[in-house]
Structure 1
């Protein structure tokens, strides 16, 4: 974990980095000397948006400059990440990321960017996927849901963020494991999925554990795609204990264009590590698992997951 991996020599180096020259036109500048744009690739009200709003003021306080949030939504985050990939790697554009999105999207189609066009700075939280329905749904449990899907292939609509996203791939894993057909309904972010299920516009959501947890008064969680039951949802069984070996989670953090200056990357990672520690109790209360992964650990996470998602997409005929 990044918080435990930082030595005093690294800390000294970070302090010295403030006086070092940065690349790409910032050769004589102290970093940062102007606002750092924080891109949200999803619609307002979703998980990235909520986390960014929590992080933004704390990051501004530490950097001493404004960190304005810009929305570049669409394509399940692809529009925003393509925009970031096109920016100069000068230290002044960062964005919220979601894994597996930034891995799976370029494998499944041409989203306007490649995974290698982006450089991960820090990973601060993750969420297992949860299958939820309305509390008045006829599906009392996962068995009811799968039985109906088996008898009426494609009749159940399941909503979530984008395609080749954590939500989507969670639903794909369920279809594979249970040998059923569901109709996937993609949304531009998590925010719009909640009223869509409330209004009966979709039959279910494959969504983040935070959504299931925070809406437990109106949604019924049928199963969670984690190894063990969640501490804040102890009454919800895992897919695995119900006979379906499904695990899927979304990891969230901050990235930048590839080639981002090392000094800026390390400084931001250190600030984000401190901020994550401060926000951890609040994140956990919301239903997140807090992570403390710096640049190297985040890159290792991507490297570890790429073969898994390549195989999954190949199995379902989505590999580009």
Structure 2
């Protein structure tokens, strides 16, 4: 009998590990948002956190860690214990652009994706009375013009600007980028910019009023609000621009924890409250699984790095 008990105890000890001693989750989860409270990225993360809390049965709290264009909060997630209790709601700029620029000590490989869940719907647009009505005629005019077209930009390292520079590099049409605090219809109306890449929410009223002409949606799928405006891939480019936000955990988080968080996120984006928010802020919510999310990160890194190097924005 003693031998049987000893053998059973040894078997239990051999299969025991600290990670298996308690079911996940057993305490509150923190979602770090590396941006100030009240902006779209924060609003979206809070809405997702509320629904995930119901799915997981524990509080899911949003913690804002703004600063350094997203680097401070993103770095905090990279340094966190890989146990699933610290999650980051991170975006393409923080994970990819900032490390390439040399502004961060972390790298994309320091994170495991739970899943991408939202994106800002960017649109490349011109003034309605411009002499071109689609991207093809715009590019032809840009190539033949004696004057470089002025692009209204959020800044040289912003994701919309890098996407447009990537387009310019791929198809060989020149541009002059000028930074504005919030490029949109005003810069087109005043003539300060010949074209802009801005969120659909910024352009929507001017598009509806017939003041602005959308040329291409800088999104993976066509926007429901602009069913006749093609995506970049439909317009002939071999990449899908996606100004995404996603949930990420530190590298090395147990797979079963990633799976549970992923299932909660997948269910959350289908919740009626999230669908309502999507309509109100004109931004899509979706679920991209960890494998596909990792592929998106790799593709973005591979696509943005040479563009930033060519512009002198990458740390050598």
Specify if TM > 0.5: yes
Q: Distance in 1 between matches of 2:183 and 2:62?
A: 22
Task: State which of 68, 74, 77 in structure 2 corresponds to 1:84.
Answer: 77
Question: In the alignment, which residue of structure 1 is the partner of 2:11?
Answer: none
Residue pair 2:153, 2:178 contacting (<8 A) in 1 also: yes
Task: State which of 304, 309, 316 in structure 2 corresponds to 1:314.
Answer: 309
Residues 1-320 of structure 1: matches in 2 within 5 Å? 23=19, 28-99=21-92, 101-132=94-125, 156=150, 158-160=152-154, 164-176=157-169, 177=171, 179-185=173-179, 205-213=196-204, 216=207, 221-226=214-219, 230-234=223-227, 236=229, 248-279=241-272, 281-282=275-276, 285=279, 286-320=281-315
Aligned alpha-carbon RMSD (Å)? 4.2
Which SS does the other structure have where 1:70 is aligned?
A: strand
Q: Distance in 2 between matches of 1:228 and 1:117?
A: 29
Residue pair 2:142, 2:173 contacting (<8 A) in 1 also: no
Q: How has the CA–CA distance of structure 1 residues 147 and 301 changed in structure 2, closer, same or farther, with 3 Å as cutoff? A: closer
User: Whose Rg is larger?
Assistant: 2
The structural deviation recorded for 1:121 is 0.7
Residue pair 1:126, 1:250 contacting (<8 A) in 2 also: yes
1:198-234: CA deviations, max 9, x gaps? 9x9x857523445444775587645433577533213
Q: Which moved more, 1:96-105 or 1:250-259?
A: 96-105
- Matched residue count: 291
Which SS does the other structure have where 2:152 is aligned?
A: strand
1:88-136: CA deviations, max 9, x gaps? 222211111223652233223232321111211112234553135799x
The structural deviation recorded for 1:267 is 0.7
Q: How has the CA–CA distance of structure 1 residues 197 and 186 changed in structure 2, closer, same or farther, with 3 Å as cutoff? A: closer
The structural deviation recorded for 1:255 is 0.6
Which SS does the other structure have where 2:269 is aligned?
A: helix
Which SS does the other structure have where 1:68 is aligned?
A: strand
1:276-312: CA deviations, max 9, x gaps? 1225644663544443322222223223443222333
Residue pair 1:283, 1:289 contacting (<8 A) in 2 also: no
Q: Distance in 1 between matches of 2:174 and 2:238?
A: 15
Consecutive aligned runs of 4 or more in structure 1 exceeding 6 Å deviation: 137-152, 192-198, 239-246
Residue pair 2:126, 2:196 contacting (<8 A) in 1 also: yes
Q: Which moved more, 1:65-74 or 1:213-222?
A: 213-222
Q: How has the CA–CA distance of structure 1 residues 128 and 152 changed in structure 2, closer, same or farther, with 3 Å as cutoff? A: same
> Normalising by structure 2, what TM-score?
0.70
